[in-house]
Amino acid sequence: MSAVRPSTAAAKVEILSTLALMGVIRELEPCLEQTAGPRAVAEFAPTAKLMECIRAGQAADVAILTAAGIDQLTEEGTLVRGSRVDLARSVVGVAVRTGGARPDIGSAEAFTRTLRDIGSLAYSRAGASGIFFATLIQRLGIADQVNAKATVIPTGLTGELVARGEVELAVQQVSELMEVPGIDVVGPLPPELQEITVFSGGLFATSPRREAGMALLRFFSSAKAAPVYERRGLGPITGTDLTSPFRRLEG
């Protein structure tokens, strides 16, 4: 897991966060203390990996995971009931190496053809996007063909493999792809194949800093934070338009 730089000058709120919000948290962290009081110290990994670690006993003050993950841990008593705060909606996209040919992903048929024709690709085993993608290629009837040329990483950023020239195409949450230098985000999957993931935060029941943790979640869900989510490829919780964060990726 990679960590936001800790501070010894202020009280810390420890976060276990999905990789999808890594860029947002890193950008918001410097002004968090000035605005909301606490200072964030975060560790990042895919939701499935974090849930495994949490169920094995790892704890913090705040968890930021898929909404489904937050709800499961709340039902299990690990997170405080009623503390869930929805932060952003996310979509899955694809990326190629900077300057590379941009494949056609404009329709279900075009995307399926691209997956058949591409020489190599990468997706994540533990991430929400990877779990969704594995199901998607099964539904499209091309799982064996795709997996024969896929690198399935246990965790991390699939775009890094594209940037290093190890594979031609990366599949992951758009916000995670945007964290990797040396790649171009082609765009989100076509709407008829897309899966929208809500990412949410919740408080650990064992946290001694619940008030500070809730202040952090309120700040992360505030209007002031909203432009950061959009810059980082994430959509708003409210409304039906998920295209605005991605329009600048087109063309």
Asked if 2-89+198-245 and 92-188 have one fold, the answer is yes
Least Cα distance to 209 among 72, 64, 39 occurs for: 39
What are the tens digits of pLDDT across the range 30-47? Answer: 877 666 567 889 999 999
What are the tens digits of pLDDT across the range 201-213? Answer: 999 999 999 999 9
In the prediction, which pLDDT does 35 show?
A: 64
Residue 104 pLDDT grade (very low, low, confident, very high; cuts 50, 70, 90): very high
In the prediction, which pLDDT does 37 show?
A: 67
- pTM confidence score: 0.85
Task: Over range 223-232, report the average pLDDT.
Answer: 93
What are the tens digits of pLDDT across the range 47-100? Answer: 999 999 999 999 999 999 999 999 999 999 999 999 999 999 999 999 999 999
In the prediction, which pLDDT does 10 show?
A: 53
Instruction: Give yes or no for a contact between 190 and 110, defined as CB atoms under 8 angstroms apart.
Output: yes
- 2-89+198-245 CATH, one of 3.65.10.10, 3.40.190.10, 3.30.930.10, 1.20.1420.30: 3.40.190.10
| Domain at 92-188: CATH architecture | 3-Layer(aba) Sandwich (3.40)
| 18, pLDDT greater than 60 | yes
What are the tens digits of pLDDT across the range 110-148? Answer: 999 999 999 999 999 888 899 999 999 999 999 999 999
In the prediction, which pLDDT does 36 show?
A: 59
Instruction: Give yes or no for a contact between 97 and 161, defined as CB atoms under 8 angstroms apart.
Output: no
Can you give the residue ranges of every domain in the chain?
2-89+198-245, 92-188
What are the tens digits of pLDDT across the range 159-173? Answer: 999 999 999 999 999
Residue 226 pLDDT grade (very low, low, confident, very high; cuts 50, 70, 90): very high
Helix or strand run (H / E) with residue 50: helix 47-55
Distance between first and last Cα of the chain: 34
| 2, pLDDT greater than 90 | no
- Reading phi first (left if > 0) and then psi (alpha if -120 to 50, else beta), residue 206 is in alpha
In the prediction, which pLDDT does 176 show?
A: 95
